Structure 1
Amino acid sequence: MLKQRIQDDMKASMKGGDKPRLGVIRLLMAAIKQREVDERIELDDTQILVVLDKMVKQRRDSITQYEQAGRTELAEQEAFEITILQDYLPTALTEQEITDMIKEAIQSTGAESIRDMGKVMGQLKPKMQGRADMGAVSGLIKQQLSS
């Protein structure tokens, strides 16, 4: 379903002559197709969200590097690409929702220390994929488990 939406948006961008948007959508389709060819599978919506999440993370990292190097025009291009990619991601979780989900996962797994972090992350990752920065979530889990 998500893949079809991306393909439809690509066609609309072609017809509308929106070349910047079309370029980003083509990059996304290429990443999806690459993963499908590599793994010899057809990606479902959850797997496409993983690809999207990875692409957004890569662009955030690039923005940081470009800004440190004083290359604002490249950082702006990466930020534009993030806005296009985020159109396909589910709505982001609020900080309160993330905190509540972490507390619930810690209780349900019986996690007591940092050693149990894998159990908590394993439970949260499918629920939060594409909706939260998992690096930040990891830091919050560490805080909860160390206190």
Structure 2
Amino acid sequence: MKLLDTLNQDMKEAMRNKEKQRLSVIRSVKASLQNESIKLGKEITDEEALSVLSREMKQRKESLHEFEQANRSDLVEKTKLEIELLEEYMPAQLSDEELQQIVDETIQETGAGSKAQMGKVMGAIMPKVKGRADGTRVKQMVEQNLS
């Protein structure tokens, strides 16, 4: 089932159950997907939808960090719940072992041997792990392997 269909179904269910927070998150994601579709001038694919979801997740994680720094516990709780709700639509995250294997394989494929070639390695890894691993986590692992 396409992500948009799932979101529509979940939105109806959230309306029936009067789940305001869930409904708000779903509407926000649907709006982002719609904006992306308009920007591209066509209906978006599941892969493009995954990119939008990843962007939404990243924004919320950055907001969470800022709210924690500002001691805004009310906003921290709200943002944590939004992240949990978004995670339901994201693909399963890679374990450290799986990610390490992908990093090792990609370093071998690219022939990188120093941190100077990190951009080359990151450019090759990110499409492989799209939506299944956070970019900062991947970056840290690549840095460890290349140092």
Considering the TM-score relative to the shorter chain, is it more than 0.5? yes
Please give the alpha-carbon distance, in whole angstroms, between the structure 2 residues aligned to 1:89 and 1:9: 14
Moved over 4 A (4+): none
Deviation of 1:16 (Å): 2.2
Deviation of 1:144 (Å): 1.0
Q: How many residues align?
A: 146
Question: Which residue does 2:92 correspond to in 1?
Answer: 91
Query: What TM-score, normalized to structure 2?
Result: 0.92
Please give the alpha-carbon distance, in whole angstroms, between the structure 2 residues aligned to 1:97 and 1:43: 29
Please give the alpha-carbon distance, in whole angstroms, between the structure 1 residues aligned to 2:7 and 2:62: 24
Question: Which residue does 2:40 correspond to in 1?
Answer: 39
Please give the alpha-carbon distance, in whole angstroms, between the structure 2 residues aligned to 1:83 and 1:139: 24
Where do residues 102-117 of structure 1 align in structure 2 (5 Å cutoff)? Answer: 102-117=103-118
Residue type of the partner of 1:70?
A: N
Question: Which residue does 1:100 correspond to in 2?
Answer: 101
Question: Which residue does 2:136 correspond to in 1?
Answer: 135
Where do residues 1-147 of structure 1 align in structure 2 (5 Å cutoff)? Answer: 1-146=2-147
Residue type of the partner of 2:16?
A: K
Where structure 2 has 5 or more consecutive residues not aligned to the other structure, the ranges are: none
Deviation of 1:15 (Å): 2.1
Residue type of the partner of 1:29?
A: K
Deviation of 1:121 (Å): 1.9
Query: What TM-score, normalized to structure 1?
Result: 0.92
Deviation of 1:130 (Å): 1.3
Deviation of 1:118 (Å): 2.8
Please give the alpha-carbon distance, in whole angstroms, between the structure 2 residues aligned to 1:106 and 1:84: 34
Deviation of 1:122 (Å): 2.5
Identity %: 39
